Amino acid sequence: MNLLTELVAFIVAIGVLVVVHEYGHYSVARLCGVKVLRFSIGFGKPLARWVSKKTGVEWVVAALPLGGYVKMLDEREVVEGGAPIAAEELPRAFNRQGVGKRIAIVAAGPLANFLLAIVLFAAVFATGVTEPVAIVAAPPAGTVAAQAGFEGGEKIVAIRDANGAQAEPVRSWSDLRWKLLGAALDHERVVLSARDGQGTYDFAVNLAGLSGQDLDDDFMSKLGFDVGGATLRVAAVEPGSAAQRAGLVAGDTLRRMDGRPVDSAESFIAYVKAHAGKPVALEVERGAPQQSQRQDGQPESANDAANKTAENARAAAATSQTTSQLTVVPAPQRDEETGRSVGRIGAALATDAPSVDVHYGPIESVRLGATRTWDIAIYSLRMFGRMITGEASLKNLSGPVTIADYAGKSARLGPSAFLSFLALVSISLGVLNLLPIPVLDGGHLLYYLVEAVTGKAVSDRWQLVLQRAGLACIVALSAIALFNDLARLIHF
């Protein structure tokens, strides 16, 4: 079932992105008076085709769905049947257009992808999305978060540049991640304002020492920032496991490990993995009443508070709450991904993390959608540049297998997650096509910019040479992306 979900989500995602990209070329070409011969979704053998009686455009759905193209009238290409282009049609040929129109037509595809991303992000922001609150878990010693003074449990509410720029509010964990990522790319020092039960404090965070190798999907954890504030409970215990031998039972609430508060599943699992064969002291709460929480991030009303008080009183009367001190020794087990020995206790965990419903008005949603699209596009360009210079790993490149995997996962999470994923891939497609590599839109734009500056078109001979070089680059990038996909799939 998961495979089917991934396949359907992947086809939908690629289909939407290709149609939008090619329609950008098509619509601007028509506006510029260029005759469009064919609009194809996919390559290879046509599965379906029809010709518009109004425009004469042939619409095609082909067998290989990894792309598409818009074929325009062009004197440099052989017309089907070998017949010359009629004289009255020559003014509508692409190659007869001014350099400005050609630039507009070629740039329209990537720009359509960016516009789609803005619309999708705006829809997500307008309809609202439930995200974790920006509460920090206890950071590992030596990390950037620990060096800044975070102890765990602080709620980050604002971020500003250390040089005194105006503070920006932090609305959720996702918002914090994007703001820290932008600061990390610029090697900035930032100040995070956070509050706990005692008050609001400023924490100076130094991001100047990060390298391109650190800016991967897990960069927040590398900095020591993990989502905190969660209540961690034992959902199930495997028979004969270390957890069962230690006395853990389903329903136990984990409070502390070796004296440190437990408020993050990620940090708890990482701690257990790092202590294979070593005793870990646990403080657990047993029989604690389960309290309901609002999930929209809004303060409770008087009725909510009264209802909760009554509910808790009934639960407390029926259930006695006890605190127990247990010692568990994680059993050593080989990690299939890294090949190293890690600790495992054999317990399934359930988390109840505070969350906030983040949503904005229509105008603010569009503004934020445009800002998010710009930020991701610039981040993608910077990461690609760092991969070229060796500052970032080529492992960051992903191919169709990884895209299909994330498409399926995001589709299962719900419409907001899938739309956000679609926006991210649309931006990536737009950025990729703008790279100055021949055979891509960016390569053609480079030709036309040279023509605009020098007044002379790039010769057919040079275009042929550069075309071959560009094709070699694309094949190499595709091979690396496919290798990375296989490496993630079989963990080597």
Q: What is the model's pLDDT at position 270?
A: 86
| Residue 218 and residue 266 in one domain | no
Report residue 393's pLDDT band, with 50, 70 and 90 as the boundaries. low
| Residue 73 and residue 111 in one domain | yes
Task: Compute the mean pLDDT over every residue in the chain, rounded to the nearest whole number.
Answer: 82
Identify whether the C-beta of residue 251 lies closer than 8 Å to the C-beta of residue 283.
Answer: no
Counting Cα atoms < 13 Å in the Cβ hemisphere of 455 gives 0
| Residue 418 and residue 337 in one domain | no
Burial of residue 331, with CB atoms counted within 10 A of its CB: 0-12 exposed, 13-18 middle, 19 or more buried:
middle
* DSSP SS3 for 219: helix
Q: Which two tokens stand for residue 401?
A: 């297998």
Q: How many independent structural domains does the chain possess?
A: 3
Q: What secondary structure letter does DSSP report for 135?
A: B
Q: What is the model's pLDDT at position 307?
A: 45
Q: Which residues pair with 349 in a beta bridge?
A: 234
* DSSP SS3 for 42: strand
Q: What is the model's pLDDT at position 292?
A: 37
| Residue 117 and residue 154 in one domain | no
Q: What is the model's pLDDT at position 211?
A: 61
φ and ψ at residue 249, rounded to 5 degrees: -135, 160
| Residue 399 and residue 449 in one domain | yes
We report the CATH number of the domain holding residue 278 as: 2.30.42.10
Q: How far is Cα 273 from Cα 445, in angstroms, rounded to an integer?
A: 51
| Residue 204 and residue 308 in one domain | no
Is 167's pLDDT higher than 90? no
Instruction: Say if 10 falls within a structural domain.
Output: yes
Q: What is the model's pLDDT at position 79?
A: 56
Instruction: Say if 370 falls within a structural domain.
Output: no
User: Which amino acid appears at position 90 of this protein?
Assistant: L
Q: What is the model's pLDDT at position 396?
A: 67
Instruction: Say if 139 falls within a structural domain.
Output: no
Q: What is the model's pLDDT at position 272?
A: 92
CA 114 vs CA 65, 124, 228, 267: distances in Å: 21, 15, 34, 36
| Residue 235 and residue 210 in one domain | no
Last residue of a domain, one of 195, 223, 251: 223
| Consecutive H or E run containing 380 | helix 362-389
Q: Which two tokens stand for residue 175?
A: 């918002």
DSSP states of 363-376 as a string?
HHHHHHHHHHHHHH
Which of 9-13, 266-270, 342-346 is most confident? Answer: 342-346
Q: How far is Cα 109 from Cα 52, in angstroms, rounded to an integer?
A: 22
Is 315's pLDDT higher than 60? no
Q: How far is Cα 323 from Cα 254, in angstroms, rounded to an integer?
A: 10
Average pLDDT over residues 175-199: 84
Identify whether the C-beta of residue 212 lies closer than 8 Å to the C-beta of residue 205.
Answer: no
Q: What is the model's pLDDT at position 216?
A: 57
Last residue of a domain, one of 302, 334, 358: 358
Q: What is the model's pLDDT at position 314?
A: 45
* DSSP SS3 for 235: strand
Is 415's pLDDT higher than 80? yes
Closest by alpha carbon to 431, among 215, 109, 180, 184?
109
Instruction: Say if 304 falls within a structural domain.
Output: yes
Report residue 328's pLDDT band, with 50, 70 and 90 as the boundaries. very high
User: Higher-confidence residue: 293 or 228?
Assistant: 228
Closest by alpha carbon to 264, among 151, 353, 147?
353
Report residue 475's pLDDT band, with 50, 70 and 90 as the boundaries. confident
Instruction: Say if 36 falls within a structural domain.
Output: yes
User: Which amino acid appears at position 127 of this protein?
Assistant: T
Average pLDDT over residues 189-201: 88
CB within 8 A of 131, min separation 6: which ones? 172, 173, 174, 175, 355, 356, 358
Is 281's pLDDT higher than 90? yes
Q: What is the model's pLDDT at position 300?
A: 40
Q: In the chain, helix, strand, coil percent, each to 5?
A: 50, 20, 30
Q: What is the model's pLDDT at position 290?
A: 43
Average pLDDT over residues 375-400: 76
Identify whether the C-beta of residue 143 lies closer than 8 Å to the C-beta of residue 223.
Answer: yes
Q: What is the model's pLDDT at position 360?
A: 83
- For residue 33, the enclosing domain spans 2-126+392-490
Q: What is the model's pLDDT at position 215?
A: 60
Q: What is the model's pLDDT at position 245?
A: 94
Report residue 97's pLDDT band, with 50, 70 and 90 as the boundaries. very high
| Residue 251 and residue 211 in one domain | no
Would residue 88 show up in a list of annotated catalytic residues for this protein? no
- pLDDT for 60-96, tens place per residue? 999 887 788 999 998 877 555 556 788 888 899 998 9
Instruction: Say if 369 falls within a structural domain.
Output: no
Q: What is the model's pLDDT at position 248?
A: 92
| Residue 256 and residue 346 in one domain | yes
Q: What is the model's pLDDT at position 240?
A: 92
Instruction: Say if 191 falls within a structural domain.
Output: yes
Q: What is the model's pLDDT at position 372?
A: 87
Average pLDDT over residues 351-376: 86
**HEC per residue, 154-213:** CEEEEEEECCCCCCEECCCHHHHHHHHHHHHHCCCEEEEEEECCCCEEEEEEECCCCCHH
Among the residue ranges 109-123, 200-214, 296-310, 358-372, the one predicted with the least confidence is 296-310
Could you give the percent of the chain with pLDDT greater than 90? 34
Q: How far is Cα 228 from Cα 132, in angstroms, rounded to an integer?
A: 9
Identify whether the C-beta of residue 404 lies closer than 8 Å to the C-beta of residue 9.
Answer: yes
The residue assigned the tokens 């017949």 is 83
Is 163's pLDDT higher than 70? yes
CB within 8 A of 275, min separation 6: which ones? 330, 343
Q: What is the model's pLDDT at position 2?
A: 65
Q: What is the model's pLDDT at position 1?
A: 53
Q: How far is Cα 428 from Cα 113, in angstroms, rounded to an integer?
A: 9
Q: What is the model's pLDDT at position 84?
A: 74
Q: Which two tokens stand for residue 136?
A: 């920090």
Q: How far is Cα 209 from Cα 206, in angstroms, rounded to an integer?
A: 7
| Residue 287 and residue 319 in one domain | yes
Considering the candidates 6, 22, 131, 154, report the single residue annotated as catalytic.
Answer: 22
Instruction: Say if 377 falls within a structural domain.
Output: no
| Residue 218 and residue 235 in one domain | no
Average pLDDT over residues 432-459: 90
| Residue 30 and residue 112 in one domain | yes
Last residue of a domain, one of 176, 204, 223: 223
Average pLDDT over residues 426-451: 91
